[in-house]
């Protein structure tokens, strides 16, 4: 039954009734029915409610019922704001949702009726496209455990579609936002670093904070504020945090790069390789021999000390003399 037929039926029933109490009850039911229809179809009931309330046969209680509905509409339109990045679709969120970052979802909708349900508890469905890295994490041996952990922390229901590389989410809107944040932290993001810093972190990644090294993986995690992993196939760090922290983390790592340097020295033809092996084990840096050159990578103070020791024992060429004979690698 549409809105026009419902209004005609309620008007006919009111005209045929002789009791004022019965008229009041029927009009109240008609107003409530139109209110529910307007919620589902997105129609405005202000004019229809005003037309019914203008009837002289209505009692004072029916007029008060209509005024409460109008007051509810005005309060709803004044307090609520549409969610960011999503179409309102006739549903208005509570205050505070404008501060939430929009989801990068392919679709997000609430297909079922939500009469009498607050916005924070409305059932939503969403589909999220997964990257290869995140798909590998969720489809691995511990993938089900990770999905259950996200479900328990967010309150949303998750279903993985490996064929289409999609993750389907269902639940309240705050739960879906929470699940999106947890998935971003699980995947993390990568930040490129210098070769000297990457080599130093790979060397001391298993050392404790009390090892004496000024740059360890645990200290980097303390500075950044999130768990950090050193990538082995690229000169980068993976930081397990939200994507909106990528720029600030890159600035912090750029400052830490200033602690690490790289020096290249030329070895003499009659150098003692036993001395190089002894220095390689004793120094707090990475010493690597490439042909007739030796590369020193690590903290600036340790590299400077090792360079002086090499010049003293093996009589290697100073950096200013090396510029004339050293050529960079073709790759």
| 121 lies in the same domain as 156 | yes
Tell whether 160 and 119 lie within a shared domain.
yes
Q: pLDDT tens digits, residue range 123-181?
A: 788 888 898 889 999 998 888 999 999 999 999 999 998 888 899 999 888 889 899 99
| C-alpha–C-alpha distance, residues 252 and 14, integer Å | 74
Average pLDDT, the chain: 70
- Domain final residue pick, 140, 168, 186: 186
The answer to the question of residue 297 being in a domain is yes
Domain match, 16 and 49 both: yes
Provide the domain count of the chain: 4
Rounded mean pLDDT, 171-197? 91
Max mean pLDDT among 14-18, 77-81, 102-106, 287-291 falls in 287-291
Task: Give yes or no: residues 72 and 112 share one domain.
Answer: no
Domain end, chosen from 222, 238, 257, is at 257
Instruction: List, for residues 18-64, the tens digit of each pLDDT value.
Output: 444 555 665 566 665 665 555 544 444 444 444 444 444 444 444 44
Confidence label for 238 from pLDDT (cuts 50, 70 and 90): very high
Both 30 and 73 in one domain: the answer is yes
Residue 89, domain member (yes or no): no
Residue span of the structural domain in which 220 resides: 189-257
- Would you place residue 272 in the very low, low, confident or very high pLDDT band (cuts 50, 70, 90)? confident
* Higher-confidence position of 126 and 10: 126
Domain of residue 161, CATH code: 3.30.1370.10
Q: Model-level pTM?
A: 0.57
- Within-domain flag for 150: yes
Q: How far is C-alpha 141 from the geometric centre of its chain's CA atoms?
A: 23
Within-domain flag for 15: yes
> pLDDT for 242-269, tens place per residue?
988 899 999 999 999 988 999 888 887 7
Q: What is the mean pLDDT of residues 186-204?
A: 91
156 and 217 belong to one structural domain: no
pLDDT recorded at residue 291: 80
Q: Are residue 111 and residue 176 in the same domain, yes or no? A: yes
Quick check: is 163 in a domain? yes
What does the pLDDT average to over 209-231?
A: 82
- 186, 216, 239: which is the final residue of a domain? 186
Mean pLDDT across 186-215: 81
Residue 327 lies in a domain: no
List the CATH number of the domain containing 221. 3.30.1370
For residues 242 and 289, state if they share a domain: no
Is residue 88 in some structural domain?
A: no
- What's the pLDDT tens digit per position in 63-79? 444 455 455 444 544 44
Residues 181 and 194 in one domain: no
Shared domain check, 157 and 195: no
Residues 143 and 182 reside in one and the same domain: yes
Evaluate whether residue 28 is within a structural domain.
yes
pLDDT at 173: 86
Instruction: Answer yes or no: do 169 and 199 share one domain.
Output: no
Among 1-5, 126-130, 180-184, which is the least confidently predicted range? 1-5
What pLDDT is attached to residue 191? 93
């Amino acid at each position: 039954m549409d809105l026009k037929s419902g209004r005609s039926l309620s008007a006919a029933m009111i005209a045929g009734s002789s009791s004022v109490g019965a008229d009041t009850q029927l009009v109240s039911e008609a107003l409530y029915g139109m209110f529910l229809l307007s919620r589902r179809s997105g129609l405005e009931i202000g004019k229809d409610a005003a037309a019914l309330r203008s009837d002289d046969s209505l009692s004072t209680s029916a007029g008060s019922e209509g005024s409460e509905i109008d007051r509810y509409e005005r309060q709803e339109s004044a307090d609520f704001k549409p969610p960011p990045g999503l179409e309102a679709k006739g549903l208005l969120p509570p205050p505070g949702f404008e501060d939430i970052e929009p989801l990068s979802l392919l679709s997000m909708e609430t297909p079922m009726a939500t009469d009498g349900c607050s916005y924070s508890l409305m059932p939503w469905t969403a589909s999220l496209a997964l990257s290869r890295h995140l798909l590998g994490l969720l489809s691995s041996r511990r993938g089900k455990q990770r999905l259950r952990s996200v479900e328990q922390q967010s309150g949303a229901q998750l279903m993985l579609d490996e064929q289409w590389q999609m993750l389907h989410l269902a639940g309240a809107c705050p739960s879906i936002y929470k699940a999106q944040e947890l998935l971003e932290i699980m995947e993390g993001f990568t930040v490129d670093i210098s070769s000297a810093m990457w080599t130093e972190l790979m060397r001391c990644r298993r050392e404790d904070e009390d090892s004496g090294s000024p740059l360890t993986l645990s200290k980097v995690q303390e500075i950044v504020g999130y768990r950090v992993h050193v990538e082995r196939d690229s000169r980068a760090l993976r930081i397990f945090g939200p994507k909106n922290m990528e720029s600030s983390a890159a600035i912090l790592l750029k400052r830490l790069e200033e602690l690490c340097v790289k020096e290249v020295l030329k070895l003499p033809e009659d150098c003692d390789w036993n001395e190089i092996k002894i220095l390689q084990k004793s120094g707090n840096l990475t010493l690597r021999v490439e042909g007739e050159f030796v590369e020193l990578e690590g903290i600036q103070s340790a590299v400077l000390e090792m360079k002086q020791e090499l010049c003293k024992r093996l009589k290697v060429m100073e950096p200013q003399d090396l510029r004339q004979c050293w050529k960079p690698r073709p790759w």
